[in-house]
Structure 1
Amino acid sequence: MEAAEALVDWPSEGITRVPFQVFSDQEVYDREQQRIFRGPVWQFLCIEQDIPEPGDVVTSWMGETPVIVARDHDGQVNAMVNRCAHKGALVALKSKDKVKNLTCVYHAWSYRLDGRLRSIAFQNGVNGKGGMPEDFDVEAHRLQPVRVQVFCGLVFGTLSDETPPLDEFLGPRMGAFIQRNFGRPLKVLGRHSQIIHNNWKLYAENVRDSYHATLLHTFYTTFKVNRLDMDGGIILSDRKWHHISYSKRATFNLDKEYLTAEVHSAKYGAKHGESALEGPELLDAWEEFDDGITHSIQTVFPNVVFQFTLNSLAIRFFVPQGVDKTELKWIFLGYERDTPEQSKMRIMQSNLTGAAGLVALEDGCINEFVQRGTVGSGRRAAFIEMGGRVAESNESSRATEASVRGFWHGYRDIMGF
């Protein structure tokens, strides 16, 4: 692997400047696969509801590395690289399956649900001829194991022995907020998947960028779902790379910027208070927690997002598929204790934000605009100084790019840039 300093000449201003090169450079992308996705970080793989019973299997990804997650016959959750120990073929071919064992279709090498090799076809040859050498040891060949930890029904994996325990990786405030949203028995309400034509890091920036949310997502602003003049704040983890952005719909203090700014008349198209919905029930909500938070976006480095908007609870999991292509997977959730009416409301609100809704549509477009605009940009860099030049928590304002700077702080550290 080429030295980091030879790959990227990072501007001296540090995390307030991001060289556009990192969004389209193949060597940078290859280094990310090694240092991040196969490195010492925990990555979201699936939810326990995907594998409720022994024999249940799902496939997932850690960067470009295919992964199997399985519940074995003892009820234990296991993960392993989806690559046969014989010739490297995929072993699990379905996104979800129920099996007794995992068997490669190429040469019928068969594995237990913890990845250990149980048998191979014709190990002793045919009619006393051929077969494996006498010293062939079944125990010496298995699917590459992935370390697994489960927290609040969320299954995380890592390929590195150096990754600290999950609670240490998350930190206390991040762990507590996950517990807030996912600490009750969950049920799956729906799923979406979409391809966005941009580098994965542009989406990682986007979900940390509270600055754009009040400008690009005009529906949120017009109908007071999430605005910068609501009470709220930004919380960064100790290593800066995870974050929480939150707002409180009930404590709303109208800022004149929304009334007088040129962007208001140019983009919103209607004077403040004139817009109305034909189906206002879309924005009906009940108070679910006693902290007043009605909108939150939480990220865990490198590529998972936990969303709570009104009463819509969702996981967004984004998988790099090349320097300019990313698959964005959505899991929409409710709680087992929900009434049918509450489940219906969650689904309705989820359709606002998901792949068929306004928010995902707008983010997908704008990230592609940045991807296209930055290709071939030479030594030019993004300017990221809204709210200052540091990556620090701020629980009095979300008019800041502190969380974006925090992502780059963690990224540069793990990448060696």
Structure 2
Amino acid sequence: METTPCDLRWPAGGATRVPYRVFSDPAIYQMEQEKIFRGPIWHYLCLTVEVKNPGDIRTTWIGDTPIIVTRDENGELHGMVNRCAHKGALVCLKERDNKKSLTCVYHAWNYKLDGQLRGVAFQKGVKGKGGMPEDFDVSKHRLQPIRVSVVAGIVFGTFSDEAPPLEEFLGDRITAFLKRNMDHPLKILGTHSQMIHNNWKLYAENVRDSYHATLLHTFYTTFKVNRLDMDGGIILSEKKWHHISYSKRATLDAAAEYTSAEVHSAKYSSELDGPQLLQAWDGFDDQITHSIQTIFPTLVSQLTLNSLAVRFVVPRGVDKTELYWVFLGYETDTPEQEKMRVMQANLTGAAGLVALEDGCINSFVQRGTRGSDDKASFIEMGGKLAESNESSRATEAAVRGFWHGYQTIMGFHE
């Protein structure tokens, strides 16, 4: 059943103007669950390394719908809604598990790892009395399946039969860069999550906003981790929905005029008491030392020096979002390389030296836009189009790309 269409009319200017109402309207939030999260879109579910063995189980989310990912005894991956076919209770309660079947604790309905119902407690009743009616057919009851597909060690899922093949949804350049970072034997180094007090789309904007890092993340600027006076660029997918932002630490232009004039944290030379935090090795031949890659709507793949991570957000209401972090290494890393990755993980995350500012600033926007449904943001840094620019990251092109996709899926028109 579809939600009632919203009466929102998008302001003139398309993706350069975003009505603040989209961050606070419960009706729009419900529309998003139907059109985006249960629509023809591929969503991050988990990593294949989390479900690599037969019987492995991983619970996750698509929007506000709980999901189970399993690997069965034949090695096949399955995705299904974490909702018993009997009375709707959660079937899997742990984030990770390994079992031969799935059993709902409420009435012990038992399912195969592909979601098919195996059996029902007291199906024949007790002492010939009660039980299911004679026409009850186990084969006609199962956990609701979803489509799953894998690229670069990432399991994606969708409710829709109309979603195109996954790599077509991503596009060639996005797929290739995702494989650059992630298509290796992965090893999970650590995980955590945090609640941020803002609408999920504000975080989606934030990770596509390439030029705020020089201004807001003063640690990056001061210690020359990621700055706009490094060579870098923005790549948008063919559909504009996904993006890559990258920079090259070795090509810092120390003479850039704006640095000393406009960015306070770039004026001074500072040293760390623990300089090993920023020691790194060249993991790739292209000189890229920092990259943020987004997959519409909620996935981020991040490489900062040698700190590799995926982040994904789960909406927890119109003004609350859970942000998950999974820090990664490669199985081929030496002990020294793994130690460096773990050390650099301190740059980001809920208590990191950098990313805590994003959770804070997004809540400022949530609070600042509340009660201003008739107003809109102004997104014209770098022009008015959503297009790639591999000569400058002083642009909001990727932000405009997100809103282009959002308008398209939601059906909001000027």
Q: TM-score, normalised by structure 1?
A: 0.97
C-alpha distance in 2 between matches for 1:274 and 1:293? 23
- 1:134 maps to a residue whose letter is E
Moved more, 119-128 or 335-344: 119-128
C-alpha distance in 1 between matches for 2:26 and 2:373? 15
C-alpha distance in 2 between matches for 1:217 and 1:14? 29
C-alpha distance in 1 between matches for 2:112 and 2:294? 34
What does 1:316-331 align with in structure 2 at a 5 Å threshold?
316-331=311-326
Q: After TM superposition, give the deviation of residue 412 of structure 1 in Å.
A: 0.3
Task: State the match for 1:76 in structure 2.
Answer: 76
What does 1:93-242 align with in structure 2 at a 5 Å threshold?
93-242=93-242
C-alpha distance in 2 between matches for 1:174 and 1:394? 15
Q: After TM superposition, give the deviation of residue 122 of structure 1 in Å.
A: 1.1
Q: After TM superposition, give the deviation of residue 52 of structure 1 in Å.
A: 2.0
- 1:327 maps to a residue whose letter is E
Deviation sequence 1:181-217 (CA, Å, 0-9, x none): 0111111111111000000000000000012111000
C-alpha distance in 2 between matches for 1:309 and 1:225? 8
Moved more, 14-23 or 350-359: 350-359
C-alpha distance in 2 between matches for 1:184 and 1:306? 14
Deviation sequence 1:269-316 (CA, Å, 0-9, x none): xx7242111111111111110111000000000100000010000000
C-alpha distance in 2 between matches for 1:296 and 1:229? 15
Task: State the match for 1:333 in structure 2.
Answer: 328
Moved more, 298-307 or 117-126: 117-126
C-alpha distance in 2 between matches for 1:55 and 1:155? 16
- 1:20 maps to a residue whose letter is Y
- 2:68 maps to a residue whose letter is I
C-alpha distance in 1 between matches for 2:240 and 2:151? 21
- 1:371 maps to a residue whose letter is Q
C-alpha distance in 1 between matches for 2:4 and 2:384? 30
What does 1:263-342 align with in structure 2 at a 5 Å threshold?
264-265=263-264, 268=265, 272-342=267-337
Q: Please state whether the residue corresponding to 1:156 is helix, strand or coil.
A: strand
Deviation sequence 1:120-172 (CA, Å, 0-9, x none): 01111111122111111111100000111111211111111111110100100
Q: TM-score, normalised by structure 2?
A: 0.97
C-alpha distance in 2 between matches for 1:80 and 1:328? 22
C-alpha distance in 2 between matches for 1:378 and 1:307? 33
Aligned pair 1:382/2:367, yes or no?
Answer: no
Task: State the match for 1:251 in structure 2.
Answer: 251
Contact 2:191 2:326 survives alignment (8 Å): yes
Aligned pair 1:405/2:400, yes or no?
Answer: yes
Contact 2:222 2:269 survives alignment (8 Å): no
Contact 2:5 2:31 survives alignment (8 Å): no
C-alpha distance in 2 between matches for 1:147 and 1:320? 21
Q: After TM superposition, give the deviation of residue 9 of structure 1 in Å.
A: 2.1
Aligned pair 1:9/2:23, yes or no?
Answer: no
Deviation sequence 1:39-73 (CA, Å, 0-9, x none): 11111111111112111111000000000011111
C-alpha distance in 2 between matches for 1:353 and 1:95? 23
- 2:286 maps to a residue whose letter is D
C-alpha distance in 2 between matches for 1:146 and 1:402? 33
Aligned pair 1:353/2:348, yes or no?
Answer: yes
Which residue, out of 361, 365, 388, partners 2:360?
365
- 1:99 maps to a residue whose letter is K
- 1:17 maps to a residue whose letter is R
C-alpha distance in 1 between matches for 2:236 and 2:301? 15
4+ residue stretches of structure 1 with deviation over 4 A?
none
Q: After TM superposition, give the deviation of residue 106 of structure 1 in Å.
A: 0.7
Q: Please state whether the residue corresponding to 1:299 is helix, strand or coil.
A: strand
C-alpha distance in 1 between matches for 2:373 and 2:312? 30
* Identical-pair percentage: 69
C-alpha distance in 2 between matches for 1:274 and 1:108? 64
C-alpha distance in 2 between matches for 1:259 and 1:377? 36
C-alpha distance in 1 between matches for 2:13 and 2:164? 30
Q: Please state whether the residue corresponding to 2:161 is helix, strand or coil.
A: coil
- 1:389 maps to a residue whose letter is K
C-alpha distance in 1 between matches for 2:144 and 2:9? 36
- 1:309 maps to a residue whose letter is T
C-alpha distance in 1 between matches for 2:327 and 2:113? 27
Contact 2:379 2:400 survives alignment (8 Å): yes
Q: After TM superposition, give the deviation of residue 3 of structure 1 in Å.
A: 2.8
C-alpha distance in 1 between matches for 2:80 and 2:284? 37
Query: What root-mean-square deviation, in Å, do the aligned CA atoms of Structure 1 and Structure 2 show?
Result: 0.9
C-alpha distance in 2 between matches for 1:215 and 1:118? 57
Moved more, 98-107 or 122-131: 122-131
